[in-house]
Structure 1
Amino acid sequence: MDPEILKFKILVLGDSGTGKTSIVRRIIRDEFSLVHSATVGVDFSVKVLNIAQGLEIRLQLWDLAGQDRFNHLSRLYYKQASGVLLVCDETKPDSLDSIVKWKGELDARLQYKIPAVLLVNKTDLIDDEDEGFSEDDLEKICSRLRIGSWSRTSAKDGFGVNECIKALVWDILSDKESKTPDPLTKTKDVFDWDDDCSSSIIRLGRQDLDLANSRGRARKCCH
C-alpha cells in the first residue's frame, strides 16, 4: 500500500545574516559550510520524513532573502504556508527586534494563523551566560507574537535545530487534526517510530517535543 503523503510548506523568515540558509542546510543535509553566498530571491528545498504506519511527510522549506529589495516576492512566498521558522542571531540584538516585523508581515499576508517556532541561532558564539538574549525577553516576545515555542540553536554544530523542526511538525499536525472534520487517524500515533527507520530521517518522539533541555537553552514558551 502506498503511504499517505502530507505536504507542508515551511517558511524560513529572518534578517539577512542570521543563518537561515545554514539552518536549512542542517535540516536537509545535516551539514554546515563556512562558505556560502547570500540568498538571492528564494531558495527552495525538500525534506522527506518517512514515518512508520505508512505516513510520509514532505517538508517544503522556503528560504526567503532577508534584504528589503526582495520584498516583491512576498506574496507568492507566503501563499498556502503551513508553518514558519523565525530565525534571529543571538549576537545581533537588532535581529530579535526584526522578528516583530517578520511576524507582522506574515500575519498581514495570510488570512489564517499558522504554527511558528523561533530559532535563536548562533548560540555557539556566546561564551558567557550573561551575553545574548535573556529567557524572559524571549518568552515575552513569543507570548506577544503568539509564537508557539523557541529554542537556542547552532546551525554550525546542529544544536537544537532538529528539535525545532520536531516541535513545528507536531504543532502543524495537531492544528491540522483539530480543523479536519474527519481527523487523521494516524496523527495520534505519529510519534511512535519504527526503530529501523533510516538514520537520515529526522526522528520525532514525544520525549523530544519538550524544548526545555539542558542549560535552559530551549523552552516551550506559549500555546
Structure 2
Amino acid sequence: MSSAKVDMKIVLLGSSYTGKSCLVNRFINETFEEKIQETVGAAFSAKTIEIGNDEQMILGVWDTAGQERFESMSKMYYRKSNAAILCYDVTLKESFDKLKFWAKQLKENEPSCRIYITATKIDLLDIGQKRAVALETIEEYAEIINARIFETSAKQNLNVNELFLKIATDFKEEKNGNEIKNPEEINEKKGKKLKLNLNDEEKRKTGCCK
C-alpha cells in the first residue's frame, strides 16, 4: 500500500536502537521480536484503526533509520507528515539530545506537523535502570515545542495503541476545526494534576526492547 492511499501520514524519528521498529511492529502486527532487523533508509507500513463512532482511519507509518548516514534522506520521509513520533530510550540521555535535533528539523521544515515525544523501553526501569532525563525536564521541553508526551514499552505492549489512537484522534479533531485540548491543562483547572499517557509504576513488568 502506498502512502498516497492513507488518511494521515506518521513518521518515526530518533536515534538507532531506540526501539522505533519494535514500536511499529507492535502496533502494526501486534507482536514483539527481541531481535529485529535494523532499518535501512525507511520502512513503510499501514494499518486501519477505529477512532470512535465506527469511523475508520488508515494510518500510514514511516519508520526511519536512526543512523547518521541516513539523516540527509530523512527529510523526504517526514515531508508532509501530519504527525511525528520522536523516540528516545528512557535510559539514554544521548537519545533524548538527538530527539531535540529532529524536533528542530520538523519545526523548520514541517511546522504544521504535530509532535509526540515518546519514551521507549520504560520496562527497563523495573529491572533497576534509571531514567536518563528527569520527567520534569521532558515536560518542560514538550511545553516549549507544543508536543504531547507518551511513555511506552513495545515488549509489554504498554501505551502503544494508545499513542497511535491519540495521534489519529488529534488529527481528526484538528481536521474538523476543533481545538485540541491538553488533558493536563483541563485537570489543572479542576484543581487536579493528571499526567495522562505516563505509565503507573504498578503497571510495569520486567523486560526490554532492544
Q: TM-score, normalised by structure 2?
A: 0.78
The count of residues paired between Structure 1 and Structure 2 equals 182
Q: Return the alpha-carbon distance in structure 2 between the equivalents of residues 96 and 75 of structure 1.
A: 19
Deviations 1:89-121 (A, max 9, x none): 0111111111110111112222x3222211110
Q: CA deviation at 1:135?
A: 2.0
Of 197, 200, 203, the match for 1:211? 197
SS at match of 2:150: strand
SS at match of 2:7: strand
Match of 2:35 in 1: 35
SS at match of 1:43: strand
**Closer, same or farther in 2 for the Cα pair 1:176/1:52, shift >3 Å?**
closer
Matching of residue 118 in structure 1 with residue 117 in structure 2: yes
Match of 1:79 in 2: 79
Match of 2:61 in 1: 61
Q: Is the 8 A contact 1:51 1:57 kept in 2?
A: yes
Structure 1 runs not aligned, ≥5 long: 180-208, 218-223
Matching of residue 13 in structure 1 with residue 18 in structure 2: no
Matching of residue 97 in structure 1 with residue 97 in structure 2: yes
Q: TM-score, normalised by structure 1?
A: 0.73
Q: Which has the higher helix share?
A: 2
Aligned 1:98-177 pairs, distance under 5 A: 98-110=98-110, 112-127=111-126, 131-132=130-131, 133-147=133-147, 149-177=148-176
Q: CA deviation at 1:213?
A: 5.1
* Identity rate, percent: 29
Q: Return the alpha-carbon distance in structure 1 between the equivalents of residues 123 and 199 of structure 2.
A: 16
**Closer, same or farther in 2 for the Cα pair 1:68/1:213, shift >3 Å?**
closer
Match of 1:202 in 2: none
Aligned 1:172-183 pairs, distance under 5 A: 172-178=171-177
**More displaced, 30-39 or 48-57?**
48-57
Residue identity opposite 1:100 in structure 2: K
**Closer, same or farther in 2 for the Cα pair 1:143/1:68, shift >3 Å?**
same
SS at match of 2:12: strand
Q: Return the alpha-carbon distance in structure 1 between the equivalents of residues 202 and 74 of structure 2.
A: 35
Deviations 1:2-32 (A, max 9, x none): xxx9611001011111000000001101111
Residue identity opposite 1:214 in structure 2: D
Q: CA deviation at 1:53?
A: 4.7
**Closer, same or farther in 2 for the Cα pair 1:168/1:51, shift >3 Å?**
closer
Structure 2 runs not aligned, ≥5 long: 179-194, 204-210
**Closer, same or farther in 2 for the Cα pair 1:212/1:21, shift >3 Å?**
closer
Q: Return the alpha-carbon distance in structure 1 between the equivalents of residues 106 and 153 of structure 2.
A: 24
